[in-house]
Amino acid sequence: MSTAPAVKSTYVPPVSRYMSIWNELKAKKYCRMAAPPVLHARIIKAVQKRRDKDIAYRFELNERHEKIRMAFSSKGNILEIRMIVSTATRLLSGINLGEL
């Protein structure tokens, strides 16, 4: 009985369409975009999901004893997202990975 050589997977998971928004928020702490108002809730939810899944960024914030919150503003077709970084008042001993 012969065994076939192991084939390496060439599958690359697709990049989220909201990843560019999250990366801009991390870099500039502010993002402004034009989108139909009916999509604003979807964009907000997706950016929050990107934030929650970015474990490396969460660890980095924890090391600097910082926390973030996001503020959203929607006027017409314009959606503005701000990331507000502040010092954590209560230091965390670790991040609960079970929440992810």
pLDDT tens digit string along 2-38? 666 666 777 777 788 899 999 999 999 999 999 999 9
- Residue 53 half-sphere exposure toward CB, CA atoms < 13 A: 11
Q: Is the dihedral of CA 34, 38, 42, 44 positive or negative?
A: positive
The CA–CA distances, whole Å, from 39 to 10, 54, 87, 97 equal: 33, 23, 32, 30
**pLDDT(91) > 70:** no
User: What pTM did the predictor assign?
Assistant: 0.72
List pLDDT tens digits, range 53-81: 999 998 998 888 888 899 999 999 999 99
